[in-house]
A = this chain, B = another copy of it.
Amino acid sequence: MFDGPVAPELDPAERRARLRLARGRRIGPVTFREALAHFGSARAACANLAVPSDGAIATEEAALARAGGRFLVLGDPRYPAALASLPDAPPILSAIGDLSLLGRRALAIVGAREASLAGRRFTAGLAASLGQAGFIVASGLARGIDAAAHESALPTGTIAVLAGGIDQIYPPQNAALHEAIAARGLLLAEAPFGTPPVARAFPRRNRIVSGLSAGVVVVEAAARSGSLITAQYAAEQGREVFVMPGSPMDPRHAGSNTLIRDGAILVRDANDIIGVFGLPQSSPQAAEKPAQKSGDTPTAKVLHALGAEPTAVDELVRRCQVSAATVAEVLLALELEGRLERHRGNRVSLM
């Protein structure tokens, strides 16, 4: 879906008319398309409908430009092709950041705001592996899983779709991440500049997250989670739905497990996703599958005894039958390699 012919640049007058039409009161994405079809062009539609003035659009465009952004108009060659194929594709997107990311295949990772540490770690490992495999990671810049996905994919490319205007920092905890994505990734927003995010905008945002992407990965979706809406959009849009499984006794996985039960693809690690798209499989990330050396060196023994769950250091010493000093040395080496996380209570886990 990314290999179609590149559209020619829109005529500037038609482009401006599309901006006016899209910002028309009560003109949603579907009405926008119908108006284009009915009148033959946005220019003709604007001549016949009550739409904002050229000046109002220029004011918004100037504010957007001052924030370092620009409009992507449906029909523009820069408008994301995967999204353009949707019947309710947003007529306009505000964009701040690296537009070249839109030319690469994206995968969405979405999930719980109240995510567990384990879920965020799984997400971070998955996003890093997908990034290394060449995918852009898209998400909704929410707390929890979304934030973990964006953060981990910043070095390889990430796209955040906002529910409010592109200048609206929400949630406040993600202010630094919002700024980092503007600088190193790409922010997109359907709502006009300056619009605060409102509740009904979130499901609409979700359709863009999935619509931009070849597939959606769901992590820790409880029953009635917003991530299930994204998965629903993805399925309707013909995108693959991937899901991290979890204990049926933990309500954080209730929605996720139902998705798998109903046919979504279970994800054990990034290779389960990469394999679906026929890309070469990467070696698993440390955070997904802790590396385990075979052999009987102290390092091998400690690695064997360590896992994603925090383990007390004295328990490690006992299990490995290696001196406490040697275990401490091995742990320090692992920590310097960035493979070890320390927890309160003198506990450690592999990252």
The residues of A with any CB-CB pair to B shorter than 8 Å are 116, 118, 121-122, 244-254, 257-258, 260-261, 265-269, 272, 288-290, 292, 307-310, 312, 314-315, 343-347, 350
| Cβ contact within 8 Å between A309 and B261 | no
Inter-chain contacts of A343 with B (CB < 8 A): 312
| Cβ contact within 8 Å between A244 and B250 | no
| 3 cross-chain pairs, A with B, having the tightest CB-CB distances, nearest first | A245-B245, A249-B308, A250-B308
CB distance from A294 to the nearest CB of B (A): 11
Say yes or no: A251-B292 contact (C-beta < 8 A), given A245-B266, A260-B245: yes
CB distance from A40 to the nearest CB of B (A): 50
Give the contacting residue for A250; candidates B257, B258, B307; CB below 8 A.
Answer: B307
Inter-chain contacts of A254 with B (CB < 8 A): 268
For the complex, give the distance between the alpha carbons of A300 and B253 in Å: 19
For the complex, give the distance between the alpha carbons of A257 and B254 in Å: 16
Copies, count = 2
Inter-chain contacts of A261 with B (CB < 8 A): 265-266, 268, 272
| Cβ contact within 8 Å between B309 and A118 | yes
| Cβ contact within 8 Å between A248 and B122 | yes
| Cβ contact within 8 Å between B314 and A344 | yes
Inter-chain contacts of A245 with B (CB < 8 A): 245-248, 253, 257, 260, 266
CB distance from A327 to the nearest CB of B (A): 16
For the complex, give the distance between the alpha carbons of A247 and B307 in Å: 10
| Cβ contact within 8 Å between B268 and A307 | no
Q: List 18 A-B contacts (CB under 8 A).
A: A118-B247, A245-B260, A246-B247, A248-B288, A249-B288, A249-B290, A250-B307, A250-B308, A251-B292, A252-B307, A257-B266, A257-B268, A260-B266, A266-B266, A309-B310, A312-B343, A315-B344, A345-B345
Interface centre among A248, A309, A343 (most CB of B within 10 A): A248
For the complex, give the distance between the alpha carbons of A350 and B116 in Å: 14
For the complex, give the distance between the alpha carbons of A269 and B249 in Å: 9
CB distance from A153 to the nearest CB of B (A): 19
| Cβ contact within 8 Å between A248 and B244 | yes
For the complex with contacts A116-B309, A118-B249, 9 further pairs of A-B residues with Cβ separation under 8 Å are A118-B247, A247-B308, A248-B267, A249-B307, A250-B309, A251-B290, A261-B266, A266-B266, A345-B346
